[in-house]
Amino acid sequence: MVRISVLLFVALTACAGLGKRTGMDVRCTFDPTQDSIKKVGKGFCGSDSYRLTATGAPAKIETTRQGRRKSSASGALLAAHYFMITTFEGHCLDQSIMGYPKGYVEKQTAWRKEIRELVKKGKVVYSTCDESDNCTILYELHFKGLRKKFDACYR
């Protein structure tokens, strides 16, 4: 039991500060003719938008160029959703290390459902594919008061 507690403590302290890293501001302008999409990073763009980049690879069963690009673009979109949801939920896990207040589980469940639905409403701002048909997208979630929601978690 002590080993599990120690391992849990080490894992949680290793993740401490995740909210600070992911809550950093990123440059809000992106010019594909001058900027590399891979240098955008992830973080807030003002108080109402959160941006990140994600890459997808084509499915092996696809043989046409159009099919390969379509499958890699949809993989990149799924990756963007996943990264954004885990970023928001991971930040809130950091905030809840000290204990569980009354009604915590119910609030957490409702908040997670709300965030997952909200993330699906984001949009692809820019998309590019390389010669191997791997696609990289710039995904943005825009919602009034998003940073406040991010900081408040499920309190």
Whether the predicted pLDDT of 7 surpasses 60 = no
Digit-coded pLDDT (tens) for 40-98: 678 888 888 888 889 999 999 999 999 999 999 999 999 999 999 888 877 776 555 55
b (16+ CB within 10 A) / e for 1-35: eeeeeeeeeeeeeeeeebbeebeeebeeebeeeee
Digit-coded pLDDT (tens) for 18-40: 333 444 566 666 666 556 666 66
Write down the pLDDT at residue 44. Answer: 87
Write down the pLDDT at residue 46. Answer: 83
Residue 138 gets which letter from DSSP?
E
Whether the predicted pLDDT of 15 surpasses 80 = no
Domain boundaries, the chain: 18-152
Look at 13 and 57; give whichever has higher pLDDT.
Answer: 57
Q: What is the CA radius of gyration of the chain?
A: 18
Residue 33: half-sphere exposure toward Cβ, Cα within 13 Å? 0
Q: Residue 87: how many CB atoms within 10 A of its CB?
A: 22
Write down the pLDDT at residue 143. Answer: 86
Burial of 106 (0-12, 13-18, 19+ CB in 10 A): exposed
Owner of token pair 């979109």:
77
Average pLDDT of the residues in 2-19? 34
Amino acid making up residue 53: T
Digit-coded pLDDT (tens) for 106-149: 777 887 888 888 899 999 988 999 999 999 999 999 888 888 87
Write down the pLDDT at residue 1. Answer: 36
